[in-house]
Chains A and B, each alone.
Chain A
């Protein structure tokens, strides 16, 4: 069981734990300490379930098994099929920029703040194994060509936020729902405005000042997700290479904002739009504007 801690906050109680390589929080309106503890435990268990299922770092995860048994039809459960279907929609709508098969580019790029730029030769060796259109997804089975690999890292955390919010909300009758926020490393969702009608104010990491939070972002309903390169980048000859890679070229996207925060009805959507915006490079702002949702760029 994940270790959790519960603390008194400003007119709220905060339950904390670590999962998915991020600090995770459940903020509960009021001073209901024991209730917050219960909700945080539920949240931690649900995140652990999702992480266990979709982490590529766990060799027995559903995702790792899919990546292991390439070149054959594999059965997928309903939840996984739904997530892959969502990834398929994202791929189509982003014109191939959001691609869950692009993870293998990691083998050429290590975003450790160093100046180790990938060579075109390395990338050319990887590109044939990238491209969601080469994957066949049916209602309950998947065919992943040999040499390809899927990575749900760009979806799983946002999905976990939404699932946890859903799970916690189901613990209460509709008329008696307390206000809470689920915040996993800056990807967050709340179930309603605060009791006094005010916004939830939650800091978002500012990539230019890694430890300083942007406090101007408030949330009354729905979700926020942030995509950016606060710590993951390469620097060579004064050029900053973001960790956002174009799956078609294998090269980092240039002239993209440092980070994009998007507000949307759910975290999955917010995260998807933030990532797709970054993939547009210099057009990120224009892309977000066209979406008609609230966003912040840095």
Chain B
């Protein structure tokens, strides 16, 4: 008898209640203290890097406007990345960054190191809660680990609402401590890339390679500050302004990048490991508009970034979410990016000129422009869950910053375009 009384009658009752209301029977949970978001991203550069990334985030509602945010990101990268060395009309040999093994690059090809592979795991956690009426605070931390890299960080923010919550001012601070321990150690600034073939035996090669190494590992400390202003302009328009400052101190050289030294005919004499300054101060201004335009949502933003490496960039990003039938939406996106070269960026060094204090041939800090063209398709599912698909093309176009290519360099591609496609599936529940 007792057993019968305590039987689960909710499913049968649910069906009966839906019949009264003329609704389809609903499934799933009803009270969600936790919101989850999961996504898988695939990124593929033509002939270069491929990456797969899985993201899982959770937001817990603890009542009284208190939230716990947790995040897990796992990504895996494989493929080849540009070393910074210049292409030549003949076969070139390169030593792998570890010092063990070598690879060859075909005539006319941009030298790529094909041993690039890494797996990264990142964990984030933060807590946010009201502090007093109209005040909110949050605090959190992150840990990110790759094979040769570890980043640990702490962050906090405080926000104040004004003007009946139509205006919000916020201040955020973040500190992170990164350590890098590349395979083969860290090369001394402008140490030459040695080739095993130039040595009589392994022993003498190993001794010479070890002599080019400065230390096994190094660190970098970064302090970020953000000042934000969010303003509700009217019921259909929200505007945001941010100023952020980032001060980094420590090792910022890429231990795997090279700079070629060429003679007056453009022939590579030697490849040197690059060297970058150990201090960098970045500023950025960000302006975002979110608009509701008769059933569609427009998100347009612009960012201007500048730093004391004399690198400055402009980013314009427009996303427009349009309804597609009853339950789907489509969101085309166009993003345009343009940057000037860092003051020490050089596509190559000339043999007859003195070696500067710093130099890097990494195209990512050279003059370039890039654009992303993509679209996202999403739908709200029955239980309020959301499924979306995004596909995008990303093209980086490095540009010549007024450097004359001598001799044979005039006939090879020094500024090769990098094209990538991205595909993403996200599910929120």
The yes or no verdict on A and B being binding partners is: yes
Q: Interface of A with B (CB < 8 Å)?
A: 8, 10-11, 30-32, 82-83, 85-86, 89-90, 93-95, 159, 162-163, 166, 173-176, 192-193, 197-199, 201, 215-216, 218-224, 263-266, 268-269, 272-273, 276, 280, 283, 286-287, 290-294
Contact residue among B2, B10, B295, B327 (Cβ-Cβ distance under 8 Å from A292): B10
Contact indicator per residue, chain B 391-413, by CB within 8 Å of chain A (1) or not (0)? 00000000000000000000000
A280 to B23, CA, bound (A): 29
Query: Given A90-B13, A174-B326, A272-B13, is A263 in contact with B6 using a C-beta cutoff of 8 Å?
Result: no
A-contact bits for B30-41, CB 8 A (1 contact / 0 none): 111101000000
Identify B26's interface contact among A263, A266, A290, A291, CB under 8 A: A266
6 A-B interface contacts by CB (under 8 A): A89-B13, A93-B13, A174-B327, A199-B32, A221-B29, A263-B31
Partner of B14, one of A173, A216, A269, A283: A269
Is B21 positioned at the interface, with any CB of A under 8 Å from its CB? yes
Q: Is the CB of A221 within 8 A of B323?
A: no
Whether the pair B7, A268 counts as a contact (CB closer than 8 A) is no
Bound-state CA distance A197–B16 (Å) is 30
Residues of chain B having any CB pair with chain A under 8 Å:
2, 4-10, 12-14, 16-21, 23, 26, 28-33, 35, 59, 61, 63-65, 67, 164-165, 232, 235, 295, 323, 326-329, 380, 383-384
Interchain CB contact under 8 A, A221 and B21: no
- Contact residue among A83, A220, A222, A290 (Cβ-Cβ distance under 8 Å from B6): A290
Summarize A's interface: helix, strand, loop or mixed.
Answer: mixed
Q: Is the CB of B10 within 8 A of A273?
A: yes
A-chain residues with CB within 8 Å of residue B2 when the two chains form the complex: 283
Cα of A159 to Cα of B20 in the assembled complex, Å = 9
A10 to B64 alpha-carbon distance, docked (Å)? 12
B20 touches A94 (CB 8 A): no
Partner of B16, one of A86, A264, A265, A291: A86
Q: Are A291 and B8 in contact (CB under 8 A)?
A: yes
- The CA of A287 and the CA of B182, in the complex, are separated in Å by 61
A30-B235, A197-B35, A272-B17 given; A264·B30 CB < 8 A: yes
Q: Which residues of A contact B232 (CB under 8 A)?
A: 31
Q: Do A294 and B326 have beta carbons less than 8 Å apart? A: no
Question: Known contacts A222-B31, A223-B30, A266-B23; is A95 also within 8 Å of B5 by CB?
Answer: yes
Q: Are B13 and A269 in contact (CB under 8 A)?
A: yes
Interchain nearest-CB distance for A45 vs B (Å): 18
Among A175, A192, A219, the most chain B Cβ lie within 10 Å of the Cβ of A175
A8 near B164 with CB under 8 A, answer yes
Given contacts A215-B64, A265-B26, contact A89 B8 (CB under 8 A): no
CB distance from B292 to the nearest CB of A (A): 9
Cross-chain contact of B61 among A83, A199, A276 (Cβ < 8 A): A199
A198 touches B61 (CB 8 A): yes
CB nearest to A163 among chain B residues: B21
Measured between C-beta atoms, what is the minimum distance from B36 to chain A in Å?
Answer: 11
Residues of B within 8 A of A94 (CB): 9
Question: Within the assembled complex, what's the spacing in Å between the Cα atoms of A293 and B32?
Answer: 11
Q: Which partner residue on chain A sits nearest B324 by CB separation?
A: A175
Query: Chain B contacts of A276 at CB under 8 A?
Result: 9
Residue from the list A32, A83, A192, A293 in contact with B20, Cβ < 8 A: A83
Q: Please, which residues of chain B bring their CB within 8 A of the CB of A11?
A: 165
Contacting pair B32 A176 (CB below 8 A): no
Most buried by B among A31, A223, A269: A269
Known: A173-B326, A269-B10. A193 touches B32 (CB 8 A): yes
A201-B65, A268-B17 given; 11 more Cβ-contact pairs under 8 Å: A82-B19, A83-B20, A86-B19, A173-B295, A175-B295, A198-B65, A221-B30, A263-B30, A265-B30, A290-B8, A293-B30
Q: CB-CB < 8 A to B328: which residues of A?
A: 175
- Return the contact of A32 from the options B8, B59, B235, B329 (Cβ within 8 A): B235
* Inter-chain contact A280/B16, CB cutoff 8 Å: no
- Give which listed residue, B10, B20, B31, B67, contacts A268 with CB less than 8 A: B20
Chain A residues near B380: list those with CB within 8 A: 174
The closest CB in chain B to the CB of A280 belongs to: B5
Q: Give CA–CA (A147, B32) in the complex, Å.
A: 46
Contact residues in A for B326 (Cβ distance below 8 Å):
173-175
List chain A residues, Cβ under 8 A from B6.
Answer: 280, 283, 286-287, 290
Q: Which residues of chain A are within 8 angstroms of B327 by Cβ–Cβ distance?
A: 174-175
> Please, how many angstroms separate the alpha-carbon atoms of A82 and B35 in the complex?
35
Instruction: Give the CA-CA distance A93 to B329 in the complex, in Å.
Output: 42
Q: How far is the CA of A286 from the CA of B14 in the complex (A)?
A: 19
- Closest chain-A Cβ to B20's Cβ sits at a distance in Å of 5
Are B12 and A93 neighbours in the complex by a CB distance under 8 Å? yes
CB of B32 within 8 A of CB of A220, answer yes
